[in-house]
Chains A and B, each alone.
Chain A
């Protein structure tokens, strides 16, 4: 029975992809939109934080690093609940009407993936050659130039951290469920659709959606790796 359902799921996934099913396409594109937006948002503030943490030394840096590393494991529902209360009409940010919207979901997810980008990028920067930094400094480069040089040198690690952030955002359920509410045509994304279809007893269809989700995550990762290697 279980095997049959799995097989049926695979066949259905293929059919949905080949026929370009509009409903599946819609949730998939929405998933991509939310994850891209959240990754871009998170990157804008995470890279500067990571550069400062990787290049400078200041009191409390160790603790800050530990906090970011600890937050890597934050439960998504907990974060979702926090943002739900924050964005709720009766919450402090209620006036912006972001609850049950894709942009609200992206904001929640950006908080989720921030620790990923910060931690991985900090590590990548710290792993760059110390001599390179010193060389740049002795050549009289201003601090921003030094930061830029180091960032370029560790671009591979930074790319990896951004891809990891995207994948995490794309595949997580808790935040998008709590903030988005899984509303048909408005906030339904791949993961919430999988949860709902399972709840509705459409097991094979859920598996099909899960396969599509995996295919996208894998193909983006392959693409990035291929580009990193070929150049």
Chain B
């Protein structure tokens, strides 16, 4: 009996060994793939080439940008990544998609090198608390209020604040409902500010029966609004993308106007902060300049034009520089620049900004004054 059982177990040991070998083989394949992915053309078995490979891989900077879900989910950042990396082959840029609130926290902990967000009040806080430098306003678009086509609250064509009041009234009657992102994202902050402007307190509203807090990303929230035939606020890009994919039947009911403006800014992490990855500051600035450059701005302009008939994000560097008379430029100024003291990034929050602020936004004369003498 003893002999038998030993034989059986040793066979099992062999079986286990086979499995381990299989798994290790697969893992090895993966390691091989990753290596070949990181900029090496072919893996030649010779010490010199392996040495060169290591140099190449380690020399490549790895830039981490924490950004908003609405920005990321549209797929636009893949285009930016490809264009940027073809320009700067020594930099690998990665995006972590989070709500603006969490994205800023990630950067504050030193886990991201820069942020790409859309919530001016928290951006200002980020600068004031000494975490960020060199803010650049790069693009804008508009939020829209969407809802079921039969529009039970009759908000179609109303002014945004009136529309929200109407939804609240019809919600109390049990005829309408509202889905809030509820995740501390830039869109969520915007929504809360709109409720405040309309005369309500969002923290009180969240307890009401017609007000649902999704605690989810934009697409998930839109799908929930669709299922419940509810109203919600969304950036136009996320709406167009989901509508185009046939994920929902909600229609745009309220759009345009200062109240629904949405402005995106990029901010580098201050290299003087103790948690920041100092080595990446240079790459940070390259990415910032790239977004503000003609090439980067053209990417904003063209993305989505073909598919949706309009750009999902409108470039605004040139608009702020030259079109100061246009309504939209004055809105952007009022919304995302005036609260910062009249400059998209006041001098005390600039650090080795190079020519970032030369390229745009300020008339030549004031620009000189605003460039700090010593950085």
Contact = CB atoms under 8 A, between A and B. Distances in A.
B219 interface: yes
Given A153-B9, A199-B217, A185 B23 contact: no
Contacts of A29: 26, 29-30, 33
Interface stretch (A50-58, A67-75, A111-119, A222-230): A222-230
Given A89-B109, A156-B12, A100 B64 contact: yes
B96 A231 contact: no
A227 B15 CA distance: 6
B33 A227 contact: no
Interface stretch (A9-17, A32-40, A207-215): A32-40
A91 B109 CA distance: 8
Interface in B13-41: 13-16, 18-19, 23-24, 26-27, 29-31, 33-34, 37
B238 to A, nearest CB: 9
B96 A33 contact: no
Nearest to B276: A89
Interface in B75-116: 75, 78, 81, 94-97, 109-111
Contacts of B241: 200-201
Contact of B18 (A90, A199, A227): A227
A61 interface: no
A43 to B, nearest CB: 10
Contact of A202 (B64, B217, B245): B245
B266 to A, nearest CB: 18
Interface string B28-72: 011101100100000000000000000000000000100001000
A186 interface: yes
B322 interface: no
Q: Is the interface of B mostly helix, strand, loop or mixed?
A: helix
A35 to B, nearest CB: 9
* Interface size class of chain B, counting residues whose CB lies under 8 Å from the partner chain: 35 or more
Contacts of A33: 26-27, 30-31
A152 B9 contact: yes
A76 interface: no
In the complex, which of the residues A100, A186, A201, A202 has the most CB atoms of chain B within 10 Å of its own CB atom? A201
A91 B275 CA distance: 10
B69 A199 contact: yes
B31 A201 contact: no
A89 B276 CA distance: 8
A159 B275 CA distance: 43
A36 B23 contact: yes
A198 to B, nearest CB: 8
A199 B29 contact: no
Nearest to B14: A231
B97 A182 contact: yes
B8 A89 contact: no
Interface in B218-257: 219-220, 223, 241-242, 245, 247
Contacts of A155: 9, 12-13, 16
B365 interface: no
Given A99-B111, A156-B12, A184-B94, A203 B247 contact: yes
Contacts of A99: 111
Contact of A223 (B19, B34, B223): B19
Contacts, number: 107
Interface string B168-200: 000000000000000000000000000000000
Interface in A18-45: 26, 29-30, 32-33, 36-37
Contact of B8 (A88, A182, A231): A231
A199 B81 CA distance: 20
A32 B9 contact: no
B5 interface: yes
A202 B73 CA distance: 10
B335 to A, nearest CB: 27
A174 interface: no
Nearest to A163: B19
Contacts of A227: 15, 18-19
B11 interface: yes
B217 to A, nearest CB: 5
Contacts of B64: 100, 181, 183
B277 interface: yes
A29 B33 CA distance: 9
B14 to A, nearest CB: 7
A184 B11 CA distance: 42
A228 B8 CA distance: 10
Interface string A147-185: 000001101100100100010000000000000011111
Contact of B94 (A156, A159, A166, A183): A183
Interface of B: 5-6, 8-16, 18-19, 23-24, 26-27, 29-31, 33-34, 37, 64, 69, 73, 75, 78, 81, 94-97, 109-111, 217, 219-220, 223, 241-242, 245, 247, 275, 277
29 contacts: A26-B33, A29-B33, A30-B30, A33-B31, A37-B27, A88-B110, A89-B109, A89-B275, A94-B275, A100-B96, A153-B5, A153-B9, A155-B9, A155-B12, A156-B12, A159-B16, A181-B64, A182-B97, A183-B95, A184-B94, A185-B37, A198-B219, A200-B241, A201-B241, A201-B242, A203-B247, A227-B15, A228-B12, A231-B11
Closest 7 CB pairs of A and B: A89-B110, A231-B11, A227-B15, A29-B30, A33-B30, A183-B94, A181-B96
Given A89-B277, A181-B64, A228-B12, 6 more contacts: A30-B34, A185-B37, A201-B73, A224-B19, A228-B15, A231-B12
